[in-house]
Structure 1
Amino acid sequence: MKIFVLNLERALERRESMLQHLSSLGIEAEILPAVEGARLPASSLPAGTDARLSPGEIGCYLSHVRFWEIVVERGLEHAIVLEDDVRCSPSMLQVAEDVAALGMPFDAVRLSALNPIRGLDITTLPHGGKLVLPNKNPSGTQGYMVTLEGARHLLERLAVPRCPIDTALDAYWKHGLCIPLVSPSVVAEDAGIASSIEGRFGRRQRKTLGRHLARVAEAQRRKFSVFLMARRLRARLQRRAQGNPAQ
C-alpha cells in the first residue's frame, strides 16, 4: 500500500525524523510537498475559499486535496497519507490492509483521532481493533487511508477550503461520504513537535442561543444519518460473510 508524508520543503528536520521513524517500522514512504498557505496569493485560491481560514489552515487543506489528486492521477486503489508530526503503531499497515480487505465502499478510513472516539461499531478487524462510524467529531488528520473511488468523491465534494480539513472530514455524513475510523488509533500526534498551523477557524464566534440550538439540531440529524449508514454497512458485511456480496 502506498504511503505519503505531507511535509513543507523547508521543514527538513521534520522530514528526516519522520522518515527515520517509518524506516524503523519497515515502512517506505514518499514525501509529498505540502502547500505553504502563506505564500499563496489570494487570486490563486479556489473560488469559494472561506476568508476566515488562516494561511496555515488553507495550506494544510490544499495539501490534502493534492493527495487526493495524486491518488486519482496514479489510479491507486488504496493509499495512506501521514502528516509529518506523527508516530505510527507497528500495526498501522496491517490494520489498513485488514480494512482494505473488507472490500467495503469506504471513501476514507481515519487512522488517527485527536478526541475520544465515539460512534457505532461496524466490525472487529482480524488482527485487533474495531472499525467505528463516528457520531462525535474525532478531529485531526494525522493519518488516514483513502480508496480510489473515495478520492474521486472527496475531490467532487470537498475540494474547496470552506473550513479546516479535519472539520470537513468530521462532517462526512453531510456530504454523502462514508468515513469510519479505526479504534484504537494507530497514528498519533507527536506531542513533542509544535504544530505548523497557527490560528483556528471559528475561534472568535460568539456563543448565542441560536447557534446552540442549531448545534443541537445538527447533532440529532447526525446521529440519525450515522445510524442508517452503520446499519447498511453491517448488513453488507453480513451478506459478504454469507457469501453474497450483492449490495
Structure 2
Amino acid sequence: MKCYLINLDRSKDRLAQMDVEFGRLGLSFTRVAAVDGRLLSQGELDAVTAPVRRWEIPMPPGEIGCFLSHKKCLEIIAQGEDDYAAVFEDDIVLSGQAQKILSDSDWIPADADLIKIETFNSVILLGESKKIQGTDCKYARLLSKHLCTGGYIVSRSAAKRMLQFMQQISVPVDNLMFDPQYEMFSSLNIYQIYPAICKQMGFESLIEADRKTLRKQYKHRPSFPGLVVREIVRSYNRSSHILSPTKLWTRITSKKRWLRVSFKP
C-alpha cells in the first residue's frame, strides 16, 4: 500500500524524523509538498474559502493550507491505479503493528471508503468489530465524531467522491471527514482501527497557535463558575463511556461500543 506524507518545504526537521520513523519499520513513503497557507495571498485564500462560515471561527491560513494539502493527496490517489492508499501528516509516531497493516490491503473490508488509523484520545462509538489477522488490532465502523487527520487509509473510489465535497473550504479537513455534523461523514463507510497504529505527537502543531488567537477573538473567557462547570464536564466526559446510562445501555443491548481508542508505541 502506498503511503503519502504531507510535509511543508520549511519543515525539514519533521521530514528527517519521518524518515527515521517509517524506516525503522521497513516502510517507505512518497512525500507530498504541503500547501503553505501563510504564503497564499488574501485573494488566493478568498478564492478557495466558502462565503458562508460553518465553523466556530474563521479559517486561518494554516488551516486552509492543511485542507488544500489533504485535497492534493486525494487528487493523487483518485488519479492513481491503487485501490487503497494511506495519507499521513508529518508529526506522527507509528506502532509496531503499522508494518503489517500498511504492507497490504487484503484485510480491508470490501465496503470501506475511509479508515481512520490514528487516535485523538476521545471516547467514540464503534460498531461490531473484527480482528485483523496477524495483528493485535481490530477494525469497526466509526459511528461518532473522532477528529484529526494524522493518519488514514482511503480507497481510490472514495477519494474521487470526497473531492466533490472539497471544492470550497468552510470547515477544517478533519471536521469534514470525521464529524457527523458535516455531510461527507454520512456519505462514506468509515472505519476505525484500534488500537490505533499512529498518533500525532512529538511536534508542536503549526496551526494551533492560529486557532488559539482566533478563538480569543471570537469567544469570551467564562466566569469562575463557568470554569468550574467546564472542568466538571471534562472530568465526566473522560469517563462517560463507563458512567453514562445511555452508553452503558448501548453496551448491554447491542454490539456497538463506546470506548477510548488507545495507542501502543
Q: What is the TM-score normalised by the length of structure 2?
A: 0.70
The list of structure 1 runs, each at least 4 consecutive aligned residues, that deviate by more than 4 angstroms after superposition, is 96-100
Q: Are residue 165 (structure 1) and residue 173 (structure 2) matched?
A: yes
Structure 1 unaligned residues grouped into runs of 5+: 208-222, 224-229, 232-247
1:173-215 per-residue CA deviation (whole Å, 9 max, x = no partner) reads 733112211111111112x3111113339843579xxxxxxxx
Q: What is the CA–CA distance in structure 2 between the aligned matches of 1:157 and 1:123, rounded to whole Å? A: 30
Give 1:97 shift: 5.7
Structure 2 unaligned residues grouped into runs of 5+: 223-246, 248-253, 256-265
Query: Are the aligned partners of 2:4 and 2:87 in contact in 1 as well (CA < 8 Å)?
Result: yes
Distance 1:8 1:148, change over 3 A: same
Q: Give the counterpart of 1:194 among 201, 204, 213.
A: 204
Q: Give the counterpart of 2:132 among 125, 143, 147.
A: 125
Q: Are residue 62 (structure 1) and residue 68 (structure 2) matched?
A: yes
Query: Are the aligned partners of 1:36 and 1:56 in contact in 2 as well (CA < 8 Å)?
Result: yes
What's the secondary structure of 1:158's corresponding residue? Answer: coil
What's the secondary structure of 2:170's corresponding residue? Answer: coil
1:41-91 per-residue CA deviation (whole Å, 9 max, x = no partner) reads 233332526661011110111100000000012232111111111111121
Q: What is the CA–CA distance in structure 1 between the aligned matches of 2:73 and 2:52, rounded to whole Å? A: 21
Q: Aligned-pair RMSD on alpha carbons?
A: 2.7
Q: Are residue 183 (structure 1) and residue 194 (structure 2) matched?
A: yes
Deviates more, 1:153-162 or 1:41-50: 41-50
Q: What is the CA–CA distance in structure 2 between the aligned matches of 1:8 and 1:18, rounded to whole Å? A: 13
What's the secondary structure of 1:145's corresponding residue? Answer: strand
Number of residues of Structure 1 aligned to a counterpart in Structure 2: 209
Q: What is the CA–CA distance in structure 1 between the aligned matches of 2:118 and 2:24, rounded to whole Å? A: 20
User: Counterpart in 1 of 2:84?
Assistant: 78
Distance 1:78 1:93, change over 3 A: farther
Q: What is the CA–CA distance in structure 1 between the aligned matches of 2:162 and 2:12, rounded to whole Å? A: 29
Deviates more, 1:92-101 or 1:175-184: 92-101
User: Counterpart in 2 of 1:18?
Assistant: 18
Task: Work out which of the two has the higher radius of gyration on C-alpha atoms and give 1 or 2.
Answer: 2
Query: Are the aligned partners of 1:116 and 1:138 in contact in 2 as well (CA < 8 Å)?
Result: yes
